Amino acid sequence: MDALPGLDPSAPPLAVENLQVEFRTDIGVAKVVNGVTFSVSAGETLAILGESGCGKSVTAQAIMGILDTPPGFVTGGEIRYRGVDLLKLSEQQRRVVRANKIAMIFQDALSALNPVFTVGFQLGELFRKHRGMSRADARKRSIELLDMVKIPAAKDRVSDFPHQFSGGMRQRVMIAMALALDPEVLIADEPTTALDVTVQAQVMQLLAELQAERNMGLILITHDMGVVADVADRISVMYAGRVVEEAPVYDIYANPAHPYTKALLESIPRVDLKGQQLRAIGGLPPALTNLPPGCSFAPRCRYAQDVCRQSPAPQLHTVSPSRGARCHFWQEVIGDE
């Protein structure tokens, strides 16, 4: 790691501070990520929740340095690995961190994997390029990785192509690729998308086991609050490019402090509410090219008052030392059972 001067071993393996990303399009500038801040420690699981289009995946792409430019541009903030701001590094220096120290699992394994190469070749390429291994050694290590993620008959399947695997098995291959170089932080972007419930549980259990073995920081990006209930330590809820609530997982589920978080929880089916109609979130998220002047959630919020619609967007209020909510009326939300 000599290529990255200024590393601080005591600093978090990943810290994002006031990150801002915009997309410059023909219809205007879309502020896709607008002041996002969070950090993750070794062995910790941070879940980033929010509906489609809120900026979760773009945040991950900015961290990895794989944002398509144009139209996407990082316009402000810091992304720090062990105290070093990755945004100030050259592309060659970013490659020292990418995959080696911070890795990512993409949400569509079939699209992420190259269809014309075997999974063994694609896994082995990581070792050949980053570790200088021979083809024979890289193949041996690829088989070990497939076995690690519990793919049956790994020695035989290493020569198969991506289309020869089921959806769940392809996701396991993606996990193996992400963990190949022993990263300190793993970003899992919708790792259970399009998988049935049983396979979802298996994938999440596998991630939890591998994280515990390696004491790895895990960022789990999802729109499914049920997926993260048993695995996350902390949750950051995003809406329209901003983190609107951050808290330990128990606090989020027991008593949310932001109206959007509360509305998400109310839209989840529950056994004790059998036969009752679910409360849907009315309206649509705002266009990111034309955000409202006040709170972005105000047009859909049952707690909203004039101050929410007319004043500048609220700051992240301190609900407790480990909890914050971007709402003028967070006390009323917590008190509304």
Residue 74: predicted pLDDT: 96
Please indicate, yes or no, if residue 134 is contained in any of the structural domains.
no
What H or E segment, with its residue span, contains residue 106?
none
Task: Please count the structural domains in the chain.
Answer: 1
pLDDT at 1: 43
Domain that holds residue 258: 240-269+279-337
CA 73 to CA 70: how far, in whole Å?
Answer: 7
The span from the CA of 38 to the CA of 29, in Å, is 24
Question: Does 254 fall in a domain?
Answer: yes
3-state secondary structure of 168: helix
Q: Are 95 and 143 in contact (CB under 8 A)?
A: no
Residue 10 burial (C-beta neighbours within 10 Å; 0-12, 13-18, 19+): exposed
pTM, 2 dp: 0.90
Q: Is residue 260 in a domain?
A: yes
Name the stretches of the chain with pLDDT < 70: 1-3, 194, 273, 337
Look at residue 255 and give its three-state secondary structure: coil
The answer to whether residue 307 sits within a structural domain is yes
> Residues with Cβ < 8 Å from 272, sequence gap 6 or more?
none
* 31 domain-assigned: no
Position 86 in a domain = no
State how far the alpha carbon of 215 is from the alpha carbons of 41, 184, 210, in Å: 9, 8, 8
